[in-house]
Amino acid sequence: MPHYPVLAIGLLMAWVPCAPAACGGHGDHESLLVPTGWLGEHLKDGEVVVLAIGEKRDYDAGHIPGSRFLNYPDVVVAKSADGLRVELPPMDRLGEVFAALGVSNTSRVVLYPLKEWNSLVGRVWLTLDAMGLGGRASILNGGLPLWQSEGRPVSSDVPAPARGRIEPCPQADVIARLDDVRSAVRRPGVEIIDARTPEFYTGAQLMPGKRAGHIPGASNLTFSTLVTKEGKLLPDAELQAKFREAGVRAGDRIISYCHIGQQASLVYFVARYLGYDARMYDGSWDEWSEHAELGAETGGYQR
């Protein structure tokens, strides 16, 4: 997946808080994924805010009417003080970004990919979830490609939304830290899932400067296998089967990770969608690999 540099964000307006009563919770099976038909019916609802994720040139070429373009670099730290890539920014900064797009604590936010950007959309949903807005945020199943294939309208008009009123209420059960993962290795009831492609998981291929292999005891569930070639999420039964094949049992907590915490965000989203208790290790292999004292396994699944 491409890596984007962070662009400067102008924090020119005061951050306007609102009552946090509509904040918290991760949503459920019914709220997290919405079909194109639902969005078509609710597109003009006052509380619905639709955000497009992907390349600006694709947005300019045509997008769902009324949707606003979210500049992905604005919601990640390209490189942290620890040298980690794609980390969660401070909550006040995120509040500014989403408020500027018209998002409030009372909004119903619908995210969609302009093209095959499912991991980026998953990362943005995780960001909203960490802010306490996961229960009010959904992903459009199939994104813009499905919307267009159904003959639904697109527009090149760029809306100028009124500023939202938003106050994040940070959730402590979204992001896993290094110590959380270290203590979870081979712990009963916790399944660590590596969302990378198999060649990185096994150690047959590695990123420059990184160790080969995966976190000890982690299983492999490649993020891209959770969606169809048309970009829709697999049917529930198939998703559940993939998680079972990865060693997940009912009642398990899932910790997903990948290279930098982007691909793993889609696994996190699907885990929440299926009703699992989930976390995403933001440091991912980028961080774990830097700690020589931490183990690394190569080859297949070793429980």
pLDDT attached to residue 154 = 98
Of 149, 184, 215, which closes a domain? 149
Joined tokens for residue 107 = 């909004």
Of 101, 131, 149, which closes a domain? 149
Joined tokens for residue 275 = 């009703």
Q: In this structure, are 27 and 145 located in the same domain?
A: yes
**In-domain check, residue 168:** no
Domain range enclosing 72: 20-149
Total-model pTM: 0.91
DSSP label of 75:
G
**In-domain check, residue 165:** no
pLDDT attached to residue 7 = 29
Band (pLDDT 50/70/90 cuts) for residue 30 is very high
Band (pLDDT 50/70/90 cuts) for residue 14 is very low
Segment 142-158, tens digit of pLDDT = 999 999 999 999 999 99
Q: Within a 13 Å sphere around the CA of 40, how many CA atoms are in the beta-carbon half? A: 14
Q: In this structure, are 26 and 136 located in the same domain?
A: yes
Q: What is the widest separation between alpha-carbon atoms in the chain?
A: 55
Residue with tokens 């606003």: 68
**In-domain check, residue 10:** no
How many domains is the chain partitioned into structurally?
A: 2
pLDDT attached to residue 98 = 98
**In-domain check, residue 279:** yes
Band (pLDDT 50/70/90 cuts) for residue 303 is low
**What is the mean predicted confidence (pLDDT) over 30-34?**
97
Q: In this structure, are 116 and 202 located in the same domain?
A: no
Q: In this structure, are 116 and 70 located in the same domain?
A: yes
DSSP label of 21:
G
Number of H helices, E strands in the chain: 10, 12
DSSP 130-156: HTT-GGGEEEETTHHHHHHHTT---B-
Of 149, 165, 186, which closes a domain? 149
**In-domain check, residue 155:** no
Q: What is the CATH number of the domain that holds 73?
A: 3.40.250.10
Q: In this structure, are 48 and 144 located in the same domain?
A: yes
**In-domain check, residue 101:** yes
**In-domain check, residue 1:** no
Segment 48-84, tens digit of pLDDT = 999 999 999 999 999 999 999 999 999 999 878 777 8
**Burial readout 218-234 (b: 16 or more C-beta within 10 A, e: otherwise):** bbbbbbeebbeeebbbe
| Cβ contacts of 171 within 8 Å, gap of 6 or more | 24, 26, 129, 130, 131, 132, 134
Q: In this structure, are 50 and 140 located in the same domain?
A: yes
Q: In this structure, are 269 and 180 located in the same domain?
A: yes
**In-domain check, residue 277:** yes
